[in-house]
Amino acid sequence: MRIVTFPERQTPAALRAQALALQAQAWPPTTTAADIDPDSDDWHDPALDPETMLLVDDGGTVLSSLDVLSKDVEHGGRSYRARGLSRVVTGAAHRGRGYGRLLVAHAREAIRLSGADLGIFTCDRELQGFYESAGWHLLPGAVLIGGTADDPFPSDRFDKVTMADFCTPLARSHATTFTHSRIALHPGLIDRLW
């Protein structure tokens, strides 16, 4: 088994097709798996510098996948380089073996090594324990504001929690400003919320 990382649009077509098929298992589209086209326009906003991380077995099968998005965020009068997880999924046939946890923990470490100030994203409330087991931390009371300033998309519209990891001394010294706050992520209209 190995973890491979690509700029999203440079992901080899065969691996991208498998990752899209895993996503279709988790979030069924209006099309069938046979209709999934790796050259489709189901891409993240390039302004978010998307990277794809895949856990691949020795036979070339994608077991788990996720994307990492990046953006500068203003919060509490300071600017932070933020990176977050998106489209985290493990194939139904491979769940319960720790593959997703392995990939999510790897992504956390990659974010730390990238120079980002913090990793931050939302997840369904029932997945909080899963992300905590991979080293992420709950940001109590934090709401990520997705969308844009003119068309906000706050995470408190859903049963979501905000997870984070403070990577740099700057971010760690101001971590408490992120709890019980509204954080203007504003990633745009393509990737409305991470």
Segment among 12-16, 33-37, 126-130 with least mean pLDDT:
33-37
Confidence band, pLDDT 50/70/90 cuts, at residue 192 = confident
The answer to whether the beta carbons of residues 142 and 181 sit under 8 Å apart is yes
The pLDDT of 135-141, averaged and rounded, is 98
In-domain check, residue 173: yes
CB pairs under 8 A, 24+ apart, for 11-20?
11/52, 11/54, 13/38, 13/39, 14/38, 14/60, 15/54, 15/56, 15/60, 15/62, 16/52, 18/54, 18/61, 18/62, 18/65, 19/52, 19/54, 19/62, 19/65, 19/89
The pLDDT of 43-51, averaged and rounded, is 94
The two structure tokens encoding residue 182: 């509204």
The residue with greater pLDDT, 35 or 49, is: 49
Q: For residue 20, what are the contacts with CB-CB under 8 A and spacing of at least 6? A: 36, 38, 40, 42
The pLDDT of 159-169, averaged and rounded, is 97
Q: What's the pLDDT score for residue 193?
A: 87
In-domain check, residue 16: yes
In-domain check, residue 193: no
Q: What's the pLDDT score for residue 39?
A: 52
In-domain check, residue 190: no
Question: Which tens digits make up the pLDDT trace of 70-90?
Answer: 999 999 999 999 999 999 999
Domain containing residue 81: CATH number: 3.40.630.30
Q: What is the mean pLDDT of the chain?
A: 93
Residue 92 has pLDDT above 80, yes or no: yes
In-domain check, residue 192: no
In-domain check, residue 34: yes
Which 8-state DSSP code applies to residue 60? S
β strands within the chain, DSSP E: 2-7, 51-56, 62-75, 78-90, 118-124, 137-138, 143-147, 152-154, 160-166, 182-184
Residue 41 has pLDDT above 70, yes or no: no
The proportion of the chain whose per-residue pLDDT surpasses 70, expressed as a percent, equals 94
CA 179 – CA 186 distance, rounded (Å):
18
Q: What's the pLDDT score for residue 36?
A: 47
The answer to whether the beta carbons of residues 95 and 69 sit under 8 Å apart is no
Q: What are phi and psi of 131, to 5 degrees?
A: -70, -35
Number of domains in the chain: 1
The answer to whether the beta carbons of residues 67 and 85 sit under 8 Å apart is yes
In-domain check, residue 191: no
Range of the domain at 82: 2-184
